Amino acid sequence: MIVVLAGLAAGFVHVVAGPDHLAAVAPLSVAARESAWKAGVRWGVGHSLGVALVGALALALREALPLETFSGVAERLVGVTLIGLGLWGLARLVAARAKAAEHRHGDVVHSHLPLSAHERRAVHEHASPLRLALGVGTLHGLAGSSHLLGVLPALALPTRLDAGLYLGAFALGTVAAMAACAWTFGALGARKRELALGATSVAALGVGVLWLVAPLG
C-alpha cells in the first residue's frame, strides 16, 4: 500500500510541478473544447506508456542502459515539441479567424467563429488536439524528469512486483492529475476561447524556447 500511495503521489506531483507538462496540455485543452479532459487523459496515457517503456528497459538492463544520455536527448525533444505546439495553436487560431463567417442583420455586419457541429469538425479535422495529446504525452514520458520520479524509485525497490506496482500507481496519478489540469484549462478558456488559445500557445512557445536554452531536466 505504501508503494502504491507513493507512486500515486509522485505521479500527481510530477504533472502539476512540471511547467513543460502544463504548457503542453494547455493549448490542447483549450482547442479540444468540451473534450478537454479527454486530451488530459490521452496525454497521461501517452506519458505512462513512455515511462513504462523506459522502466521496462531499465529493469531489464539495469546499469547497462545510459539513462543520462537518453534523458538529455529526450529533454531537447520536449523543447522542440513545446515550440511546435505553440506554433500549432497560433496557426489554429489564425485558421479559425480566417473561417469566421460574416453575417448581416439589416445595416449591421458582424462576424463570429463557426459554431455548427460541421464547422467545428472542419476546424478540428487537421491535427486533432486529442491525437496530438497522446504523442506529446509519450514524448514527455520518455524525458528525463520522468526517470527521476517514475523509473529510478522503481529500480530501488526490492522486487519486480513492487517496481511494477509503483510504476502502475505513478501512471494512474499522472493520468488523473493531467485530466484534472486539462479540464481546468478547458473550463477557464470556455468564454474567451480565442484569447485563451492565443495565450496558452504563446506560453507553450516561450517554455519550449527556454527548455532548449536551459533544459530543466
- Which comes out higher in pLDDT, residue 110 or 67? 67
What's 189's DSSP letter? T
**pLDDT for the residue 147:** 61
Burial of 176 (0-12, 13-18, 19+ CB in 10 A): middle
Pairing of strands 101-105, 108-112: antiparallel
- Residue 210 pLDDT exceeds 60: yes
Q: Which of 54-58, 128-132, 166-170 has the lowest mean pLDDT?
A: 54-58
8 A C-beta contact, residue 148 and residue 67: no
Phi/psi class of residue 106: alpha, beta or left (left: φ > 0; alpha: ψ in -120 to 50)? left
Chain segment 57-77, per-residue pLDDT in tens: 766 765 555 555 556 666 677
DSSP for 117-180, written as a single string: HHHHHHHHSSS-HHHHHHHHHHHHHHSHHHIIIIIHHHHHSSSHHHHHHHHHHHHHHHHHHHHH
**Would you place residue 175 in the very low, low, confident or very high pLDDT band (cuts 50, 70, 90)?**
very high
Residues 124, 8: Cα–Cα separation, whole Å? 33
**pLDDT for the residue 7:** 86
Burial of 77 (0-12, 13-18, 19+ CB in 10 A): middle
Q: pTM, whole model, 2 decimals?
A: 0.71
Largest CA distance in the chain: 77
Residues in the chain, total:
217
What is the arithmetic mean of pLDDT over 184-213?
Answer: 85
Chain segment 19-52, per-residue pLDDT in tens: 778 888 888 888 888 889 999 999 999 988 888 8
**pLDDT for the residue 105:** 47
- Residue 155 pLDDT exceeds 50: yes
**pLDDT for the residue 69:** 59
**Would you place residue 127 in the very low, low, confident or very high pLDDT band (cuts 50, 70, 90)?**
low
**pLDDT for the residue 74:** 63
**pLDDT for the residue 71:** 60
What is the arithmetic mean of pLDDT over 94-110?
Answer: 57
- Which comes out higher in pLDDT, residue 17 or 180? 180
- Residue 87 pLDDT exceeds 50: yes
